[in-house]
A and B are shown apart, each in its own frame.
Chain A
Amino acid sequence: MKERITDTMRNFFIVVTLINAAMLVLGAILRPDQQFGYEAFAYPIIYGFITSIPGLFMGTSKEMSVAQAVIREIIQLMLIIVALLVIMFGGNIANKDNIIPAISVTVSVIIVFVLVNLISWGLDKRTAEKMTADLEAYQRKNMNF
């Protein structure tokens, strides 16, 4: 559980940053004249919190293969999209005026989700390279002396 919380926290901060960027881009395209109050600063945090919830409760004690982990990520993405659409539009998703914003939100969520995973992957790749370098030094040391 500890690892899951640490992971969720790390992803939360990446998600909040990326939601900020997504809101900037979407807002500039869909509603460039929209005015906001200070409460607008809270939205990325609220959405970041909502998107973190499925990750917290989708853990398993079983060790997953990479393919299983990918499927888990896809299910998590779908849950996040549903949660955000329900919170943002309630029962009015089918409303004509909401279709384009709903599609935009869905596309943004997918982009943010993919970016979060890419950033995490990049960080893990650096760690893996460092571990491989340490492993080679460890093996040299244990072979030679």
Chain B
Amino acid sequence: MEIRILKIDETKNEYIEIGCHKTDTRVQDIVRFIKNRQGSIEAVREEQHYQLPITDIYYIEAVDDKTFIYLKGDCFETRKRLYEFEELLSGREFGRISKSVLVNLMKISSIKPALNGRFMCILKNGEKVIISRKYVSDIKEMLKGEKV
């Protein structure tokens, strides 16, 4: 497949166009890859609004009625509910690991056993989040690529 990169004027919107004979799995993989590397989420910290790149998010946690987004060393609040993020990020590299946490699978460095059939994700920034028993099989399937 030939690759062409065209520089465009900053006043125009950036775009990616794929010329192909048919949309086979190879093209779908490219589309998924591009989708995974774009997008941002609006969040608030100390009354300041920020656009957080999705790829920088480590995990999203719901605590009582509030939802928090955790980056490497920062925490932001958002108005969206966890189930909305689950829908928004479906098909991306995020997985639900408990009733209150959605984790970025690309930010996990290893998985260790916790008690009672649960598992603990050690994140790349050293934080730890628990995978509930209920979500273990879903995460296993996601990691094997059997579930998106």
Contact = CB atoms under 8 A, between A and B. Distances in A.
Interface of A: 3, 7, 61, 63, 65-66, 69-70, 73, 117, 120-121, 124-125, 127-128, 131-132, 134-135, 137-139, 141-143, 145
A5 to B, nearest CB: 11
Contacts of B72: none
B78 interface: no
Given A142-B36, A142-B106, A145-B29, A120 B117 contact: yes
A133 B145 CA distance: 13
B29 A142 contact: no
A121 B106 contact: no
Contacts of B119: 124, 127-128, 131
Contacts of B90: none
Contacts of A69: 114-116, 118
Q: Is the interface of A mostly helix, strand, loop or mixed?
A: helix
21 contacts: A7-B117, A61-B99, A63-B99, A65-B130, A69-B114, A69-B118, A70-B115, A124-B113, A124-B114, A125-B112, A125-B113, A128-B112, A128-B113, A131-B139, A135-B108, A135-B110, A135-B143, A139-B105, A142-B36, A142-B93, A145-B29
Contacts of B105: 135, 138-139
A49 B144 CA distance: 36
B143 A145 contact: no
A145 B116 contact: no
B140 interface: yes
